[in-house]
């Protein structure tokens, strides 16, 4: 059943496909060819067909792809329908920004809990989710199996919190701290968002662009 491993390059493009298809869908576009999609996304038609062929056959000769159903297929591939759950650790500015502005549900996740150490926020709700004391994390995870822990704690707390998430049985950690989490011995997946790395790459590119 399981195909050969899908390359990381392909995996990174899947959410982009999903995003573009959603835009097309909302714009009322019914069908699209690989070449038209490629033009819109700055990819070759070949690459799109090659990417999709990792997962099955979703098109139709002479027609192209049905936008709505290809979107659904990709949602399926991305496991968006699996009722994933997420908890946020640390509700400072960034944690709060994610809780209030990021639509977890649009990626197939439900935000089920928020943890923090600050007595001023514990017991309150943020975005309709209760903020709990961090001491309750271990118990909470034991009683409420959770897909992903969102790490938005200060640098100093990052490693300890990551360890507790792993112990608590999460399947993935969405890491916003600039700490490199070295938990490769477990089979928990770490997805990093390194703001500084992104800005430095931009710094390089704008300088390169001038010369």
The site for a copy of itself (CB under 8 A) is made up of: 2, 6, 11-12, 14-16, 18-20, 23, 42, 77-80, 82, 84, 92-94, 96-98, 100-104, 106-109, 147-148, 171-172, 174, 178, 180, 184, 187, 189, 191, 193-211
Q: Which of 88, 174, 173, 169 is nearest to 128 (CA)?
A: 88
Residues 62-91, mask of contacts with DNA (x by CB under 7 A): xxxx--------------------------
Q: Which of 29, 23, 48 is nearest to 38 (CA)?
A: 48
Residues 104-143, mask of contacts with DNA (x by CB under 7 A): ----------------------------------------
If binding is defined by CB under 7 A, does position 43 make contact with DNA?
Answer: yes
Q: Label residue 71 exposed, middle or buried (CB < 10 Å: 0-12, 13-18, 19+).
A: buried
If binding is defined by CB under 7 A, does position 47 make contact with DNA?
Answer: yes
Cα–Cα distance, 126 to 144 (Å, whole number): 19
Query: How many residues make contact with DNA (CB under 7 A)?
Result: 25
* Of 1, 2, 61, 120, the one binding DNA by CB under 7 A: 61
Cα–Cα distance, 148 to 157 (Å, whole number): 18
- Interface contacts to DNA, rule CB under 7 A: 7-10, 33-35, 43-47, 49-50, 52-53, 57-65
């Amino acid at each position: 059943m399981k195909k050969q491993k899908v390359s990381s390059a392909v995996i990174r493009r899947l959410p982009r496909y999903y995003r573009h298809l959603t835009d097309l869908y909302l714009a009322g576009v019914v069908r699209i060819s690989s070449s038209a999609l490629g033009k819109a996304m700055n990819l070759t038609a070949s690459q799109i067909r090659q990417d999709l062929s990792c997962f099955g056959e979703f098109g139709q000769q002479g027609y192209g792809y049905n936008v709505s159903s290809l979107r659904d297929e990709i949602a399926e591939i991305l496991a968006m329908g699996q009722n994933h759950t997420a908890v946020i650790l640390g509700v400072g500015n960034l944690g709060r920004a994610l809780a209030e502005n990021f639509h977890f549900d649009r990626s197939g996740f439900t935000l089920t809990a928020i943890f923090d150490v600050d007595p001023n926020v514990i017991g309150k709700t943020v975005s309709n989710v209760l903020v709990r004391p961090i001491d309750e994390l271990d118990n909470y995870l034991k009683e409420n199996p959770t897909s992903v822990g969102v790490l938005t704690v200060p640098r100093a707390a990052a490693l300890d919190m990551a360890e507790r998430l792993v112990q608590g049985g999460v399947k993935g950690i969405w890491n916003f701290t600039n700490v490199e989490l070295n938990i490769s011995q477990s089979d928990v997946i770490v997805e990093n968002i390194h703001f500084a790395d992104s800005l430095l790459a931009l710094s390089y590119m704008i300088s390169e662009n001038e010369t």
